Chains A and B, each alone.
Chain A
């Protein structure tokens, strides 16, 4: 297989960036040229990424770098691209899935008056994410990271006029949220994580003296033990570094921005959830993982183990918490958003367990990235199908849908394939990767983590069946009946949208069939990099358990989740509403999950409320008194001195001297008098200067 020069990796992100810059120019020529031009540039990006795939069959040639000197002083930095199995897999996930989403956008956004802005943001988003995954150093990775955050702000709040039809949230008494607010929330929450991550990177640089990823790996044996001499420093750096991925990948406790991120147009949700933004955190953790693995298992830095412990528990807790919230969501895209948070939690869990034992490295690493790969496909498909369904149903709520299958048979089959994959039904890709994650988890003998992951499989199956049933099956809602009566078009939407969803469904199906082989292929690639190139220790643990145990438990969990959901939302034999009303526990749980464990309300009260209180406190109790002191009290001192002198005179001569200046002139007079004091000081100083000069002129 012919290998392209490594410089092609530059083109992966340069093409989308060029597309973003050229969109306004092309729009001036012809709107069609702008639309297809934007698509073409993202296609070129995807093509360049695909051209890197043959490297995966020539692992001995990897890793490769292409860099140039960007800065020499005060910090020397060579910037460029790093091509290794991880970056190749990530680049392809990003570029190819994004291209499919761009194709879908052609139909979805047709007729929108702000298409130039749309294509600019979209291509910038794709380019930034590709820069992030292909960068050979942490600084440019961080630049891509920040740009991804910026693009998400621009795209989540794309409908910046906040028209009623674009509100999310509700129905009352639950409050609605406007797109511009959602964009701001995403920006602020992720930025807090970002700045802390930058701090972590800088602490690392202070010891490592390099930002180049490969050099960081190579020198970690030196600088990490050096850092370990300062107690708590590695833990501090780890916590700060992980805040970035936790924020960007919407993990507990910074996960609350993602459910609102679906305020943007459908393709944006697909892009954020499947191909770009939230995957960046997982990628970052995977990138940093070898450093900490080496630090803990080879250099013996105990604090390095916290990296794995934190990320494993954060992942497991997030997977569980978000899944429970997904069970009660009423908005289709919100249910999918909770699902994303939960699934990313699985990926984090896998990467976390990779370092919990010396033998779980390859299994944890591979299963985490493999799940990322699969999730990108099925979540993109789910979101794009959801966009089509919402387009047809003219509503974001699932209880406004129902029995849509007959109107949208293609979308139904595509979404079914993606949903089965999400649930982890064999032989769809989600099954293979979830199974691998559970197996890696169990292999570490950390049963609480495994139990949490397994329970989440049950819940995932439940909420997936629920949203699929509420959307496509059951009884048609009043809204659908009304639309039918009105003669609204109830059917498949634009051809590009159907084609894009279909392409993804086919990909899911094919990758499902070859899932096990693909997993081994990935495993081989990562093992080669981690063990042979980075010289991380490899130990194969002897497992006493049956190889069928985890798959059986996984499938059983899926069935346990599907059955009640089927009875509730497909067949209609049970009425979910009456169950919730009848049992107090169910009512309580429903309320708890519907209110998102009250985490969002707590954050709003604590952070937004806290900052609001602070910024109202500051002007009132600090700024005003200071202002009064400098601009009223000090200037009034001469006036008061004059006044008290006048009073002394008055008491001495028994006369009252009242010569009040007009009220509006008082401040000017007071200030002038007060500052006159300062002028006197200045005069003294100037006098001294004059004396010095005079002394020089006249001589000693």
Chain B
């Protein structure tokens, strides 16, 4: 029996981060391995916890802070499944970053002395583990204020500082976009907090479980609405999506995959905080959310098609893809909610693959403009495979887990549509047709980047080849995990059903 297993999972990355910071000049290049190793350790802890939960246990650890505020942690089938995949994405991108950050420092800060280089390099890996802390905190929190705290932690520490210091543009633009990201994050969380406070005025508690006592109270509509607006800005739901292309384009690619997690995790929050305790009151929001999600799905796809920047392309795809999970969750059937949450996990894996591969392209070619690419499969076959895996995953093609997620999710939506209001059936048909758009833009991107003749500049550049193994291997492994979950989805769905099956 491992003591304080959940606390370890949440805190170990932060402790590793502080350790890296304190020993920054000594650890140097090893910082990446320390961060990655710590995250591997927490992944192992998560798997142990998952095994216990699989056998019917619910892990609950109490860490009181004040009477109404606590950092109690709860791991059930829902949170553990979400946490494992999010942590896995962190592990993969930690190892991927080892080479990538080196490259970013070289591009941004030029040829610096060893001490300065170590300072910058370790700074990244000091900030990076806070992603894991934030994600795990959100997954396991039982207290709304604690959840809010972790949401803000994510926005401020890793997102803002990493983007501001390791972003792509010049100094001013970099800070400008980082500031934009910070304010969008803070604004969303603030509106969410207003909902929390409004709920508190009626329940007298910040516990998520206590929200169910609000059911039937007229104020609940306002609580849900405020929280939803807050979450929509995180989820980049139209028209609150405008920050996403900027921020994704600016981020160093090695954490862009985590930005997708940062945005999409709001779906989990929606289920945990709103749908599970306030299922009946949430029904009135179901169709409007589905309509908004449908608009965002199509809008994001069209926006993705219009992009020539490989990073913005992935960003717009994120806008579209997140809405898939939103539409599933909003349909409020057991199939659609489980499918929507599973889709969230599949999407973050797929997006981790796609973004990281975009990073490999930028890393090796120095080019971000898709129009200047083409024919790269000949020189970068493994990168082409990675991108194709990402495209397949996003398009919901078997054997990737996204296929199963989409199938289960759409089963729920069609169930709701055929036995419920006709408008839901129309939304369901339009939404499933929108999957065709995803296939169109992802496979078109493969053609534009990897097929056809190569431009003379790229053809004559002998340095263009597949990136170092430490960059592509974690990405391929993430793809393999996605395939394994596609072949054996019970690993996740059985866990989800432990929680959701009894309520929905």
Tell me whether A and B are bound partners.
yes
Assess the A184–B447 pair: CB atoms within 8 A: yes
Assess the B242–A198 pair: CB atoms within 8 A: no
- CB neighbours (8 Å) of B403 from chain A are 143, 146
Taken residue by residue from 170 to 184, chain A's Cβ proximity to chain B (1 for < 8 Å, 0 otherwise) reads as 000000001011011
Please measure, in the bound complex, the distance between the C-alpha atom of A696 and the C-alpha atom of B172, giving whole angstroms. 44
> Interface-forming stretch among A155-163, A351-359, A542-550?
A155-163
Please measure, in the bound complex, the distance between the C-alpha atom of A143 and the C-alpha atom of B406, giving whole angstroms. 12
Residue in A199, A672, A693 whose beta carbon sits within 8 Å of that of B68 in the complex:
A693
Q: Please judge, given known A-B contacts A161-B378, A203-B414, A618-B303, whether A685 and B398 are in contact too, CB under 8 Å.
A: no
Assess the A143–B303 pair: CB atoms within 8 A: no
- CB neighbours (8 Å) of A668 from chain B are 172, 175-176, 179
> Interface-forming stretch among A27-35, A189-197, A338-346, A365-373?
A189-197
Q: Please judge, given known A-B contacts A198-B407, A203-B418, A616-B306, whether A682 and B429 are in contact too, CB under 8 Å.
A: no
- CB neighbours (8 Å) of A630 from chain B are 242-243
Q: Using a Cβ cutoff of 8 Å, how many contacts connect chains A and B?
A: 183
Q: Is A504 part of the binding interface, using a Cβ–Cβ cutoff of 8 Å?
A: no
Q: Is B419 part of the binding interface, using a Cβ–Cβ cutoff of 8 Å?
A: yes
Q: Is B497 part of the binding interface, using a Cβ–Cβ cutoff of 8 Å?
A: yes
Closest to A180 in B: B451
Taken residue by residue from 296 to 326, chain B's Cβ proximity to chain A (1 for < 8 Å, 0 otherwise) reads as 0001001101100000000000000000000
Assess the A74–B334 pair: CB atoms within 8 A: yes
> Interface-forming stretch among A490-498, A511-519, A551-559, A619-627?
A619-627
- CB neighbours (8 Å) of B494 from chain A are 72-73
Residue in A72, A188, A199, A675 whose beta carbon sits within 8 Å of that of B490 in the complex:
A72
Please measure, in the bound complex, the distance between the C-alpha atom of A70 and the C-alpha atom of B299, giving whole angstroms. 36
Give the interface residue-count category, chain B. Answer: 35 or more
Q: Please judge, given known A-B contacts A147-B398, A162-B452, A611-B305, whether A75 and B440 are in contact too, CB under 8 Å.
A: no
Interface size on A, residues (CB 8 A): 69
Taking the closest CB of chain A, its distance from the CB of B155, in whole angstroms, is: 11
Taking the closest CB of chain B, its distance from the CB of A680, in whole angstroms, is: 10
Residue in A75, A614, A664, A693 whose beta carbon sits within 8 Å of that of B408 in the complex:
A75
Please measure, in the bound complex, the distance between the C-alpha atom of A230 and the C-alpha atom of B425, giving whole angstroms. 13
Q: Please judge, given known A-B contacts A233-B418, A678-B190, A681-B190, whether A146 and B398 are in contact too, CB under 8 Å.
A: yes
Q: Is B37 part of the binding interface, using a Cβ–Cβ cutoff of 8 Å?
A: no
Assess the A73–B501 pair: CB atoms within 8 A: yes
Assess the A205–B411 pair: CB atoms within 8 A: yes
- CB neighbours (8 Å) of B443 from chain A are 153, 184, 187-188
Taking the closest CB of chain B, its distance from the CB of A669, in whole angstroms, is: 10
Please measure, in the bound complex, the distance between the C-alpha atom of A678 and the C-alpha atom of B501, giving whole angstroms. 40
Residue in A160, A194, A619 whose beta carbon sits within 8 Å of that of B303 in the complex:
A619
Closest to A145 in B: B398
Q: Is A486 part of the binding interface, using a Cβ–Cβ cutoff of 8 Å?
A: no
Closest to B494 in A: A73
Instruction: Mark out the residues of chain A between 112 and 170 whose CB falls within 8 Å of any chain B CB in the assembled complex.
Output: 139, 143, 146-147, 150, 153, 157, 160-163
Please measure, in the bound complex, the distance between the C-alpha atom of A534 and the C-alpha atom of B246, giving whole angstroms. 59
Instruction: Mark out the residues of chain B between 408 and 466 whose CB falls within 8 Å of any chain A CB in the assembled complex.
Output: 408, 410-412, 414-415, 417-419, 428-429, 432-433, 435-436, 439-440, 443-444, 447, 450-453
Residue in A74, A178, A622 whose beta carbon sits within 8 Å of that of B335 in the complex:
A74
Q: Please judge, given known A-B contacts A162-B453, A178-B452, A192-B433, whether A202 and B414 are in contact too, CB under 8 Å.
A: yes
Please measure, in the bound complex, the distance between the C-alpha atom of A161 and the C-alpha atom of B378, giving whole angstroms. 8
Taking the closest CB of chain A, its distance from the CB of B192, in whole angstroms, is: 10
Taking the closest CB of chain A, its distance from the CB of B497, in whole angstroms, is: 4
> Interface-forming stretch among B84-92, B133-141, B193-201?
B193-201
Instruction: Mark out the residues of chain B between 119 and 150 whose CB falls within 8 Å of any chain A CB in the assembled complex.
Output: 145
Assess the B433–A667 pair: CB atoms within 8 A: no
- CB neighbours (8 Å) of B209 from chain A are none
Taken residue by residue from 243 to 273, chain A's Cβ proximity to chain B (1 for < 8 Å, 0 otherwise) reads as 0000000000000000000000000000000
Closest to A199 in B: B432
Q: Please judge, given known A-B contacts A184-B443, A202-B410, whether A74 and B493 are in contact too, CB under 8 Å.
A: yes
Taking each of B410, B435, B444, B451, which has the highest tally of chain A beta carbons within 10 Å of its own beta carbon? B451
Closest to A240 in B: B429
Assess the A188–B436 pair: CB atoms within 8 A: yes
Taking the closest CB of chain B, its distance from the CB of A375, in whole angstroms, is: 28
Instruction: Mark out the residues of chain B between 63 and 118 whose CB falls within 8 Å of any chain A CB in the assembled complex.
Output: 66-69
Q: Is B377 part of the binding interface, using a Cβ–Cβ cutoff of 8 Å?
A: yes
Q: Is B375 part of the binding interface, using a Cβ–Cβ cutoff of 8 Å?
A: yes
- CB neighbours (8 Å) of B190 from chain A are 678, 681-682, 685
- CB neighbours (8 Å) of A619 from chain B are 303, 306
Q: Please judge, given known A-B contacts A184-B447, A188-B436, A615-B306, whether A672 and B172 are in contact too, CB under 8 Å.
A: no
Assess the B428–A192 pair: CB atoms within 8 A: no
Q: Please judge, given known A-B contacts A678-B183, A678-B186, whether A664 and B172 are in contact too, CB under 8 Å.
A: yes
Taking the closest CB of chain B, its distance from the CB of A670, in whole angstroms, is: 10
Q: Please judge, given known A-B contacts A162-B453, A184-B443, A689-B145, whether A74 and B408 are in contact too, CB under 8 Å.
A: yes
- CB neighbours (8 Å) of A146 from chain B are 397-398, 403
Assess the A679–B338 pair: CB atoms within 8 A: no
Assess the A205–B414 pair: CB atoms within 8 A: yes
- CB neighbours (8 Å) of B399 from chain A are 143
Q: Is A206 part of the binding interface, using a Cβ–Cβ cutoff of 8 Å?
A: yes
Please measure, in the bound complex, the distance between the C-alpha atom of A413 and the C-alpha atom of B183, giving whole angstroms. 76
Taking the closest CB of chain B, its distance from the CB of A677, in whole angstroms, is: 9
Taking the closest CB of chain B, its distance from the CB of A185, in whole angstroms, is: 10
- CB neighbours (8 Å) of A611 from chain B are 302, 305, 440
Assess the A614–B436 pair: CB atoms within 8 A: no
Taking the closest CB of chain B, its distance from the CB of A162, in whole angstroms, is: 5
Closest to A117 in B: B381
Instruction: Mark out the residues of chain A between 580 and 627 whose CB falls within 8 Å of any chain B CB in the assembled complex.
Output: 611, 614-616, 618-619, 622-623, 626-627
- CB neighbours (8 Å) of B59 from chain A are none
Q: Is B229 part of the binding interface, using a Cβ–Cβ cutoff of 8 Å?
A: no
Q: Is B292 part of the binding interface, using a Cβ–Cβ cutoff of 8 Å?
A: no
Residue in A70, A161, A207, A672 whose beta carbon sits within 8 Å of that of B418 in the complex:
A207
Assess the A626–B493 pair: CB atoms within 8 A: no
Q: Is B7 part of the binding interface, using a Cβ–Cβ cutoff of 8 Å?
A: no
- CB neighbours (8 Å) of B362 from chain A are none
Taking the closest CB of chain A, its distance from the CB of B285, in whole angstroms, is: 22
- CB neighbours (8 Å) of A646 from chain B are none
Q: Please judge, given known A-B contacts A74-B501, A162-B453, A619-B303, whether A192 and B436 are in contact too, CB under 8 Å.
A: yes
Instruction: Mark out the residues of chain B between 261 and 313 whose CB falls within 8 Å of any chain A CB in the assembled complex.
Output: 299, 302-303, 305-306
Please measure, in the bound complex, the distance between the C-alpha atom of A700 and the C-alpha atom of B95, giving whole angstroms. 52
Assess the A71–B489 pair: CB atoms within 8 A: yes
Assess the B242–A623 pair: CB atoms within 8 A: yes
- CB neighbours (8 Å) of B339 from chain A are 74
Q: Is A665 part of the binding interface, using a Cβ–Cβ cutoff of 8 Å?
A: yes
Q: Is A241 part of the binding interface, using a Cβ–Cβ cutoff of 8 Å?
A: no
Assess the A188–B440 pair: CB atoms within 8 A: yes
Please measure, in the bound complex, the distance between the C-alpha atom of A153 and the C-alpha atom of B239, giving whole angstroms. 35
Q: Is B392 part of the binding interface, using a Cβ–Cβ cutoff of 8 Å?
A: yes
- CB neighbours (8 Å) of A697 from chain B are 66
Please measure, in the bound complex, the distance between the C-alpha atom of A593 and the C-alpha atom of B190, giving whole angstroms. 64
Taken residue by residue from 349 to 390, chain B's Cβ proximity to chain A (1 for < 8 Å, 0 otherwise) reads as 000000000000000000000000001011000000000000
Assess the B452–A191 pair: CB atoms within 8 A: no
Please measure, in the bound complex, the distance between the C-alpha atom of A239 and the C-alpha atom of B22, giving whole angstroms. 65
Q: Is B180 part of the binding interface, using a Cβ–Cβ cutoff of 8 Å?
A: yes
Closest to B422 in A: A230
Closest to B239 in A: A626
Q: Is B187 part of the binding interface, using a Cβ–Cβ cutoff of 8 Å?
A: yes
Instruction: Mark out the residues of chain B between 453 and 504 whose CB falls within 8 Å of any chain A CB in the assembled complex.
Output: 453, 489-490, 493-494, 497, 500-501
Q: Is A242 part of the binding interface, using a Cβ–Cβ cutoff of 8 Å?
A: no
Q: Please judge, given known A-B contacts A157-B451, A160-B450, A192-B436, whether A199 and B335 are in contact too, CB under 8 Å.
A: no
With A146-B398, A198-B432 given, name 7 new contacts (CB 8 A): A74-B408, A183-B447, A206-B418, A206-B419, A627-B242, A675-B182, A685-B194
In the assembled complex, 8 residue pairs joining A and B whose CB atoms fall closer than 8 Å, in A order, are: A74-B408, A74-B497, A150-B392, A157-B451, A184-B443, A202-B432, A205-B411, A682-B190
Q: What 9 A-B pairs are tightest by C-beta distance, nearest first?
A: A675-B183, A180-B451, A202-B414, A73-B497, A615-B305, A206-B418, A160-B451, A143-B398, A615-B306
